[in-house]
Amino acid sequence: MKCFKILITLMLATSSGGIALPQKPNILLLCVDDLRPELNCFDVPYVHSPNIDRLAAEGRAFLRHYVNAPSCGPSRYTMLTGRFGPVGNRALFERAQKMRTHPEAVFPSMPEWFRSHGYVTVSVGKVSHHPGGWGGEGWNDNTVVEMPQAWSRPLMPTGAWQTPRGAMHGAAHGFHLSDPGGRRVFESAKGDDSIYPDGLITDEALTQLGELTEDDAPFFLAVGLIKPYLPFAAPEKYYELYEGVELPPIPYPTKPAERTTWFNSGEFMKYNRRGKDPRTNAEFAAEVRRHYLACVSYADTQVGRILKKLKETGADKNTLIVLWGDHGWHLGEHAVWGKHTLFEESLRSPLVIQYPSIAAPGEKTEAMVQTVDIFPTLCALSGIPIPDFTQGISLQPILDDPRGNGHPAVAYLGEATTLRTATHRLVLHQDGYVELYDHTSPEKETRNVADAHPGIVRKMKASLEKQLNRYGSGSTDFI
């Protein structure tokens, strides 16, 4: 009997024929745009995030998770392919083009891999760079697909915003960036959750959960919430949570004097700020931060609605849940209001993984991990083969023991690459210029100590090169 059980386990682990096996767990992937690790469960007590907190209390919060790129498109590329990739926001569209011209040179995406192993794969909202995963002027041309062969059905409700592009930059009641009334950098309008696009995305996610859980096949449901992406706009009740809350001072709020990957906050500055600049106006900066937090709490409520529906269906007893922030966001640190840097604030984001049999539920981990690890982790937990083309490492050992070891994290921009270890951050520019920051010192990423520590620089440069090339020269998609 024991041998028979082992044989069955091996058959399940190596199955590739697309047959639905009830033993396979469902997967619920929750992607949240521009989400800093600024949650109550990530030790930030003034943030109202009860639903994500509850998920973390039942699973594992990765306190030191780092994305591989500080922009939506390339970060989602690494999550959805398990590989380092192109640096621009059209990274997945570039991959789609390559699939058309050189299909033999493109590896399957994560949803495509799970689909080939018997899963029904559904995306709702912003999972790839474009909500819904289509191209064209309004991002609604279904002949221009961002992720061919990935989804059984890709969905993006648009409501009053009419197009995915309008919803992506949505203000209340159908206004968006193209309309004069939609250009405000923040707002808190009266109304229920559906006055902003994430309410509609969540409604559709609930519908899909109801349908998917009635099927015998395992499902891979990915839901992408837009907030707290700009504009920082959420129903008024969420802003009220932060009225009168005293926020801590912005750490190191001045622009670096030395050369860095500093970014001029162009995306933020194009919005209507009523002539105010948070870099010079502390009161306005506090208002921006409160509106950002209101968006976090709004997104948290949507997460709660989805988790509640999952439990109501009974599918929570056989579902792996991943909550992932696609990158961080500066709220004034280094005088940046945005992302697109290789500083800690752009690269560190929340990651929470939960499933019924997880060991030591609720225990957080300080192990350092990166986004590219998600694909092999979900394979390992689902009992399907980990493809040899993925460039991450399964996090199952840390899920089995929160004291398990992590590993250095890589990230990149067009002009520079970085390696984060437990103690230091190295930033290597294309022209050879080096930044080295000591995270054991009070100065952290405000003082470049590269000249004082040539040995550490040499060691970290070698480690960075090894990480990028460990699958063979030229195998990383962005090199």
Q: Which residues are catalytic?
A: 72, 129
DSSP class of residue 266?
H
Q: Tell which residue, 213, 188, 402, has the closest CA to residue 298.
A: 188
The tokens for 346 are: 């752009």
How far from each other are the two terminal CA atoms of the chain, in whole angstroms? 50
Q: How far apart are CA 106 and CA 86, in angstroms?
A: 13
Q: What is the DSSP annotation of 92-132?
A: HHHHHHHHHH-GGG-PPPHHHHHHTTT-EEEEEESSSSSTT
At a CB cut-off of 8 Å and minimum separation 6, what does 280 contact?
A: none
Residues 159, 161, 164: CA angle, nearest 5 degrees: 95
Q: Tell which residue, 199, 410, 178, 386, has the closest CA to residue 306.
A: 199
The distance from CA 455 to its chain's CA centroid, rounded to whole angstroms, is 34
Maximal C-alpha separation, the chain: 75
Other CB atoms within a 10 A radius of the CB of residue 129 amount to 27
In sequence order, what E strands does 116-184 have? 120-125, 134-135, 141-145, 153-155
Q: How far apart are CA 31 and CA 224, in angstroms?
A: 5
Question: Given the structure tokens 């929750």, which residue do they identify?
Answer: 30
